[in-house]
């Protein structure tokens, strides 16, 4: 897949609303490695008071939280998904987000763009953020 520029995206005011409305955030691709961006962002979100749910194919706990293998396994409502996966995986993730029926915001981290996946979730009424770091944007919005 070629590099894409986001065609579907949110602005900072919309992002502020997402952070204010969403309380539970699943972090897909949340690494147990503390040096990885996914771990640092997940820790930041948890420390900012969000219920952070790590989703990772291995490990039982990350950052003191129970790890789920997939979105489908999570047995509680999820407001937002923050994705740390390759762009090629985003189509299947978009399908999983839609299948859950409770996710309000689909957020892909820096350098992660898949407009086809974004179009899919947007057409289901789910808000989209692509190619932004959730931690950087939260800090910029709320001066954390």
**Mean per-residue pLDDT, 28-42:** 97
pLDDT at 1: 44
Task: State pTM to two decimals.
Answer: 0.94
Listed by start position, the domains of the chain span: 23-142
- Whether domain 23-142 has CATH 3.40.50.720: the reply is yes
**CA-closest candidate to residue 42, choices 82, 69, 92, 1:** 82
Q: How far is 95 from 114, CA to CA, in rounded Å?
A: 13
**Mean per-residue pLDDT, 19-41:** 98
Q: How far is 45 from 70, CA to CA, in rounded Å?
A: 19
Both structure tokens of 18? 């997402």
H or E element, residue 16: helix 12-21
Q: How crowded is the C-beta side of 13, counted as CA atoms within 13 Å?
A: 0
**Mean per-residue pLDDT, 98-120:** 96
**Mean per-residue pLDDT, 44-54:** 98
């Amino acid at each position: 897949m070629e590099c894409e520029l986001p065609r579907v995206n949110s602005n900072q005011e919309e992002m502020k609303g997402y952070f204010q409305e969403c309380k539970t955030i699943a972090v897909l691709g949340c690494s147990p490695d503390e040096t990885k961006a996914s771990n640092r962002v997940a820790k930041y979100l948890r420390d900012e008071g969000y219920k952070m749910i790590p989703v990772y194919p291995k490990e039982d706990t990350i950052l003191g939280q129970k790890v789920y293998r997939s979105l489908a396994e999570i047995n509680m409502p999820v407001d937002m998904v923050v994705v740390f996966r390759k762009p090629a995986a985003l189509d299947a993730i978009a399908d999983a987000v839609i299948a859950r029926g409770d996710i309000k915001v689909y957020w892909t981290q820096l350098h992660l763009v898949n407009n086809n996946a974004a179009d899919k979730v947007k057409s289901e009424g789910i808000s989209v953020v692509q190619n932004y770091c959730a931690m950087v944007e939260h800090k910029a919005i709320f001066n954390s």
